[in-house]
Structure 1
Amino acid sequence: MTAGPAGADLVVVGAGVVGAACAYFASLAGLRVIVVERGAIASGTSSAGEGNLLVSDKEAGPELDLALYSQRTWREDLAEHAGRWEFEAKGGLVVAATEGSLASLRDLNVQQRAAGVEVHDVGHAELPDYEPHVSRDLRGAAYYPQDAQVQPMLAVAHLLRLARDMGARVSTRTEVSGLLRSGDRVTGVRTTTGDIRAGAVLNAAGTWAGEVADLAGVPVPVRPRRGFVLVTEPMPPRTIRHKVYAAEYVGDVASSDAALQTSPVVEGTDSGTILIGASRERVGFDRTVSVPAISTLAAKAVALFPMLRQVRLMRTYHGFRPYCPDHLPVIGPDPRAPGLWHACGHEGAGIGLAAGTGKLIAQGLAGKRPDLDLAPFAPDRFSDPHQGAEEVSP
């Protein structure tokens, strides 16, 4: 396929949740959109996550601001479609096993409240009211009513379907092999099925976003960070009522350590299965199943919910989060390659941040001032092409 000069206003590279949200909001803004995806829709990170929409795991700063904005976008702009992707305002419970971790959690809560997060202190005696099966050895917790959940693959599928209803086109099994240029300006993409000309190209390629940026000769150091999720046999409804995780998870999310890190994250689903995460390690795109990661996650989940010792594990799955070395996503136009925009590097927060990212990108593309300052997420903050390189070989 070869589109003419007026082929599209925007080509979105990547049909994961971020690309889908950008395609939806850009189409809503009246732009002619074409989405190209090297595999199937939601075949990358979006198919390997739990569907978190969290504010609880973020310290005060630009990412938390984006998370709060995105929460409002999911809950307000997309409210009429919430049932399509099983939006569940289940709330999050962050638990502390020691007095030291509880004190650190309370300090974090003070910062978060000042930034607009709703959070409630939960004492030791109150824990069973929130989670009847949680360990009685915990010292206390914090409850976050804003934390929510979606089914990520449904979110991708329906956002793209809604975009198509507004005129967008989606082309799967279409790999971008180069960028079209007019002088320094990016004017479209060269793909395995032909050239597509467009007014702008959006790099929403997830863990492969660095490769797409390389095609334009600009460094965007997005790297894969592997994670595993365990799935149990179905349990009675509301066996686990909230998304429950250990306070140490916040530190693991913010860590740049390449080695294996695990902190228990446990939650129930409508089908009765219980999802157990979360692990992080930088091993390139190595898809080998890690027995140490799985066994450690299982042991820590049992410590959090002792009744899980009697529950059978049904399966595991894993994927790769698009990791940036400064733990902030890359969002906005790239002045180093005019016409190229980025929406990538969200790591494990991509589902939650996708709606807000899509709305902000669409505002910018339509010539409007974005609701949030995008300076902290600027693509050209990376000047060293080797910044963020993997310390661990694939």
Structure 2
Amino acid sequence: MIGAACALYAVRAGLDVVVVDRGPVAGGTTGAGEGNLLVSDKEPGPELELALLSSRLWREITEGRHPDKGRPPGRRFGRAVDSRAVDARAIEYEPKGGLVVASTPEALTALTALAAGQRAAGVDAVPVAADQLLELEPYLAPGLAGGVLYPQDAQVMPTLAAAHLLRASGARVETGRTVTGVLRGDDGAVRGVRTERGDLLAPAVVNAAGTWGAEVAALAGVSLPVLPRRGFVLVTEPLPRRVRHKVYSADYVADVASDAAGLQTSPVVEGTAAGPVLIGASRERVGFDRSFSLPVVRALAAGATRLFPFLEHVRAMRAYSGFRPYLPDHLPAIGPDPRAPGLFHACGHEGAGIGLATGTGLLISQTLTGKAPDLDLAPFRPDRFAEEAAP
């Protein structure tokens, strides 16, 4: 998804783009995501600023608006650039809003404080009293202390979204082609990439490899400490729409911000346009272990039924897992790498990559073309970890 968004905005900025992927489109972390476009789970700071920018850009993409709309459609590699809107229905874009609920008065106090800071940063966060929760979600469990409604939260089907953004970009897409090296000249500047099917020469290379971003960085001779953080999603049978918003426990925000390597679960429940209900969320650092874990899936089911008791009688169709690209300070790496001129990074978004993709893509395109970025990139500097490790 990040690579697709970078391609979209880079082509719109007038650049020729080749997207190289060792697998199929969305064959990695993107295809294992829920498709969340969230502002609700971000604390005030750089990531929330990026989420707000991305939220606006997702709306613009589905409405057919973009920063250089006045520029006539061009051609890239002999292909017409599609400057039309990405069909919201085709990518299952739903601006349905998010509802964060607190089970205790103490949790509600903490959630209310977080929402106040988010409002000051530009988030639309609406307090919801305990007796109003069932008006928003009639099937919620009784006895909850209250919550906060986030109208800006939305959802897409990530595999479809990545494919449609790539199509709309007009970029050349090389799937099933593995990057085996990053080419650098005598002056240290990046000259392109080496693949098993030959070299691709370019004055700029964008590392949008997600959870495998550390491997691509190493090919260029630089360090980027991206680690995999495994998560499972439980998928129910198709249902009539009973869950109207993305609904999750206030504990989820703390889990997202945690540095713990051990298993953490907090209930996250949302309906989809296709009918199934998606149930999360779990986090654990176990390397690239894809083993199925029945205890984790049971914990997800238990958390979901605590929020929505009707789910106890619903069949689960399947469960799948994926690896979030985790960086130690929970901020992605976005922008040029001064250690390898011509190398740009756009990875390490952890579980927020789908939502943050559009903002990341725009920022990368702006830096590639020498424009002032819409956000300060200093907090996202790819070499910030090298500075911390220096004596």
Q: TM-score, normalised by structure 2?
A: 0.92
Identify which of 179, 201, 206 aligns with 2:205: 201
**2: CA distance, partners of 1:272 / 1:37:** 31
The match for 1:221 is 225
**Residue type matched to 1:226 in 2?**
R
The match for 1:72 is 56
Structure 2 counterparts to residues 108-127 of structure 1, below 5 A = 108-127=114-133
The match for 1:192 is 196
Q: Does 1:153 align with 2:159?
A: yes
The match for 1:335 is 338
**Residue type matched to 1:103 in 2?**
T
**Residue type matched to 1:156 in 2?**
A
Q: Does 1:141 align with 2:156?
A: no
**2: CA distance, partners of 1:102 / 1:70:** 28
**2: CA distance, partners of 1:57 / 1:37:** 30
**2: CA distance, partners of 1:286 / 1:332:** 30
Identify which of 244, 249, 268 aligns with 2:247: 244
**1: CA distance, partners of 2:388 / 2:290:** 26
**1: CA distance, partners of 2:354 / 2:167:** 17
The match for 2:357 is 354
**2: CA distance, partners of 1:137 / 1:187:** 61
Q: Structure 2: which 5+ residue stretches go unaligned?
A: 64-84
**1: CA distance, partners of 2:231 / 2:143:** 27
How far did 1:363 drift?
1.0
**2: CA distance, partners of 1:22 / 1:314:** 34
The match for 2:137 is 131
Cα offsets for 1:237-286 (capped at 9, x unmatched) = x2110000000000000001000000000011122211100000000000
Higher mean displacement: 326-335 or 376-385: 376-385
**2: CA distance, partners of 1:32 / 1:40:** 21
Q: Does 1:367 align with 2:370?
A: yes
Partner-residue secondary structure (3-state), 2:90: helix
The match for 2:67 is none
Contact (CA 8 Å) 1:221, 1:385: kept in 2 or not?
A: no
Contact (CA 8 Å) 2:349, 2:356: kept in 1 or not?
A: yes
Root-mean-square deviation (Å): 1.2
The match for 2:31 is 47
Q: TM-score, normalised by structure 1?
A: 0.92
The match for 1:263 is 266
Identify which of 326, 330, 344 aligns with 2:329: 326
**Residue type matched to 2:97 in 1?**
G
The match for 2:286 is 283
Cα offsets for 1:293-332 (capped at 9, x unmatched) = 1000100110111111111111111110101010000000
Alpha-carbon spacing, 1:250–1:103, altered in 2? closer, same or farther (3 Å): same
How far did 1:84 drift?
2.8
Cα offsets for 1:363-392 (capped at 9, x unmatched) = 1111111111111000110117989xxxxx
**2: CA distance, partners of 1:155 / 1:307:** 30
**2: CA distance, partners of 1:316 / 1:386:** 39
How far did 1:137 drift?
1.7
Contact (CA 8 Å) 2:247, 2:270: kept in 1 or not?
A: yes
Partner-residue secondary structure (3-state), 2:202: strand
Identify which of 89, 98, 102 aligns with 2:95: 89
**2: CA distance, partners of 1:297 / 1:386:** 37
**1: CA distance, partners of 2:182 / 2:118:** 41
Contact (CA 8 Å) 2:92, 2:273: kept in 1 or not?
A: no
Contact (CA 8 Å) 1:219, 1:385: kept in 2 or not?
A: no
Contact (CA 8 Å) 1:210, 1:222: kept in 2 or not?
A: yes
Partner-residue secondary structure (3-state), 2:22: coil
Tell me the matched-pair count.
367
**1: CA distance, partners of 2:282 / 2:191:** 40
The match for 2:12 is 28
Partner-residue secondary structure (3-state), 1:93: strand
**1: CA distance, partners of 2:89 / 2:195:** 35
Identify which of 162, 167, 173 aligns with 2:168: 162
Identity, % of aligned positions: 64
The match for 1:11 is none
**2: CA distance, partners of 1:131 / 1:76:** 28
**2: CA distance, partners of 1:104 / 1:147:** 20
Q: Structure 1: which 5+ residue stretches go unaligned?
A: 1-16, 388-394
**1: CA distance, partners of 2:33 / 2:60:** 23
The match for 1:3 is none
Structure 2 counterparts to residues 172-191 of structure 1, below 5 A = 172-183=175-186, 184-191=188-195
Ranges of 4+ aligned residues in structure 1 off by more than 3 Å: 384-387
Structure 2 counterparts to residues 303-314 of structure 1, below 5 A = 303-314=306-317
